[in-house]
Chain A
Amino acid sequence: MSASDLQSAPSAQEAAPPRPAWQVLLIRPETMTLALLVLAVFAGAWLSPFFLDISYILRSFTLYAEFAIVALVLTMVIIAGEIDLSPAANMALSACVFAWLQQAGLPVPAAVAVGLAAGLAMGAFNGLMVIGLQLPSIIVTIGTLTLYRGLAQIIAGDKSIRVPEWFIGVDKIMVLGVPLPVVIFIVLALALGFLLSRTIVGRQIYQIGTNEVAARHAGIRSARIKFGLFLAVGLVSATAGMMTASRLGSVRYDLGLGGELQMVLMAMLGGTYIFGGRGTILGTFLAAWLLVLVSTGMIVANVLPAVQLVVLGILLVVSIIATNFIYSRTQR
């Protein structure tokens, strides 16, 4: 092909007609999540008659709500082209800081505040390493994952620290018949969904994840936005840590152990693209429910916890393969 052919090519070709709306909707990864969700409901109902009890599912959701809340923010981090594997360790450390301080005699509200500040500081540290020192976030957060949980182990030792009686039971508080953690999850999902899809900052997050160099040339303050995202993950993780402490009634260094897998899994199942630039809060929202249905379904069906580990691992791998496949077929 000669140079003149190349030049005339765009004008000579008609633009491809836009896809029909139903096709656009059908090939979105969130649709896959929704289909799986419906499938999970039917499968669960077939396995056990108790399964369709909505209050049972809501109560089960409180077991996963902390991870789900963090997964919402993690989705934005992944869309921005970074990753954070340390939130689960962050949850453990901030909860340990809180429990240790209140045991040492600090009033509970002050201890909570220090715990949240610790979470924020951990997020800031991640952000500093990734953005300030330009290190890859994958390996930095593997390091901080080990570090934070190790520090929690130093603070709490091998013992579990009890929290005061009145602090226990955030999952038992009902708002209009829905447990408080679930309400927090839904409200946060709405807020972040609005932020990501309807505000300038939200759209800029997508641009950073799609092509950071181009985004910076377009005047987007990518460093500032990404640092803000790491801070947000830190703060939300600490909040989730407090909620877990309240739900369990005691804190140990192994609180939320392995939670990073479930958080990443929720984001991946929801169709967030692992290389950044694509994904929605809606997807993660649906995926969180899907994961809860699958997990409780396995509990109802008396599946061993070990098999659940296997299923989660397989789900993670299958969901990235599927998402990659969908995105490679549809250049949005």
Chain B
Amino acid sequence: MSLIRTLLVRREAGIAVMIVLFCLAVGAFRPQFLTLDQLRIILLLVPLIMIAAMGQMMVIVARHVDLSIGSTLGFSAMVSGMLYRFDVDWFGFDVPWWTGIPVSIVVGAGLGLVNGLLIQLFRLPAIIVTLGTLSLYRGLTFIISNAKQIDRQWIPSELKGLSQTSPVFGTPWIIFIAFGVALATYLFLMHTRMGRQIYAIGSNPVAAPLRGIKVTQVTLVVFTISGALAGLAGILYASRWGFVNPSNTGSGFEFQVIAAVVIGGVSINGGVGSVLGTVLGVLLLGCVAAALPLLGIPGTSQAAIYGAVILVALVIDRTVRRQGIAGFKRVQP
């Protein structure tokens, strides 16, 4: 297969073209959209979604779905927020500013593991289980926090600094963290045995155990990673916005993440999807979100756009699976 042909059939190329076309179209009306400043705005919009999208992508590749990540994000952010708020009352000293990072990741991983256990041990559909835990984790967030917000003054300034101070080129740490997670996910999925097994399970869940793949173990790991990354996104939420609210933090987040993943060409039927595609999907979503205020479209229309984007991506996915982009026949997965 020639290089051009490969490019045409690759999903990632299509998304990249869409990003370029979209930016040019917006730039034609609002020239300030095509500046470096605007690029920074876009990049600052996406880290949380990108981190969670890496976990969600693995889950969807394994032919499951995780609807609870928004609530997982909220709960793990709240645990860390409370740690900062009440550390003197509980332990008698101020915890160092970075404590929240491992705490949130571990808490998130725990919640993800619970999802995985319910799904794998009882053979339940992920969508229903995570719909239940979506509500469950959100309720727990209210309970532990007594329905009170963790205000700005309790979040350590070093933590908030992760989204403001920059090591190079005026690019805050949080963006490097997001791309670091994406790189790690790439290495895990492409260059480890378990990473490849995730694809094998998603492609054919019946054949996977016959090939000696420990499906239970792999599925548990996948959901634990998804939870852990939602937890990481949780502590970065506190860093980015400087507060943790029991009802707002992470609410509706799962739909943005699923939208990004599905645009990125990850097939909802499992077994298909790449880190590069997901990253591009996240960036496309970021471009759309950044263009809305410039075009004078009110922020209230964001949810509708995410929904429409999910549906359009589904239809594209279906068409591409049938005939490839530009009419090139593609092998049926």
Q: How far is the CA of A275 from the CA of B122 in the complex (A)?
A: 14
Residue A157 CB within 8 A of the other chain: yes
Contact A316 B303 (CB under 8 A): no
Contact A150 B311 (CB under 8 A): no
Contact A307 B136 (CB under 8 A): no
Residue B129 CB within 8 A of the other chain: yes
In the complex formed, the residue of A with least CB distance to B135 is A313
Chain A interface: which size bin? Answer: 35 or more
Residue B304 CB within 8 A of the other chain: yes
Residues of chain A with a CB closer than 8 A to B300's CB: 153-154, 157-158, 253
A261 CB contact (under 8 Å) in B135, B147, B258, B301: B135
Residue A143 CB within 8 A of the other chain: yes
**Chain-A contact segment, one of B82-90, B138-146, B155-163, B206-214:** B138-146
Known A-B contacts A149-B303, A321-B122; the reply to A306 vs B128 at CB < 8 A is no
Contact A264 B140 (CB under 8 A): no
Q: State which residues 118-158 of B face A: CB under 8 Å.
A: 118, 122-125, 127-129, 131-143, 147
Contact A133 B136 (CB under 8 A): no
Contact B255 A146 (CB under 8 A): yes
Contact B306 A146 (CB under 8 A): yes
Residue B57 CB within 8 A of the other chain: no
* Total A-B contacts with CB atoms under 8 angstroms apart: 148
Residue B42 CB within 8 A of the other chain: no
Over the window 110-138 of chain A, the binary record of Cβ atoms lying under 8 Å from chain B Cβ atoms (1 yes, 0 no) is: 00000000000000000001000111101
Residue A231 CB within 8 A of the other chain: no
Q: How far is the CA of A147 from the CA of B298 in the complex (A)?
A: 15
Contact A135 B139 (CB under 8 A): no
Residue A308 CB within 8 A of the other chain: yes
| B contact patch SS | helix
Known A-B contacts A153-B303, A317-B132; the reply to A324 vs B124 at CB < 8 A is yes
Contact A139 B65 (CB under 8 A): yes
- CB A318 to nearest CB in B, in angstroms, measures 9
Q: How far is the CA of A300 from the CA of B146 in the complex (A)?
A: 20
Known A-B contacts A144-B311, A150-B305, A150-B307; the reply to A320 vs B128 at CB < 8 A is yes
> Number of B residues contacting the other chain (C-beta, 8 Å)?
46
Over the window 47-79 of chain B, the binary record of Cβ atoms lying under 8 Å from chain A Cβ atoms (1 yes, 0 no) is: 000000000000000000101000000000000
In the complex formed, the residue of A with least CB distance to B258 is A142
Residue B236 CB within 8 A of the other chain: no
Residue B308 CB within 8 A of the other chain: yes
A146 CB contact (under 8 Å) in B125, B140, B303, B314: B303
- CB A111 to nearest CB in B, in angstroms, measures 21
Residues of chain B with a CB closer than 8 A to A310's CB: 135-136, 139-140, 143
- CB B288 to nearest CB in A, in angstroms, measures 13
Known A-B contacts A153-B301, A261-B131; the reply to A275 vs B310 at CB < 8 A is no
6 more A-B residue pairs beyond the given contacts A274-B125, A312-B135, with a C-beta to C-beta distance below 8 A = A83-B127, A151-B304, A304-B147, A313-B137, A313-B139, A317-B118
5 interchain residue pairs of minimum CB distance: A150-B304, A147-B307, A313-B136, A306-B142, A309-B139
Residues of A with Cβ closer than 8 Å to B? 83, 85, 129, 133-136, 138-140, 142-151, 153-154, 157-158, 253, 258, 260-261, 264-265, 268, 274-275, 304-314, 316-317, 320-321, 324
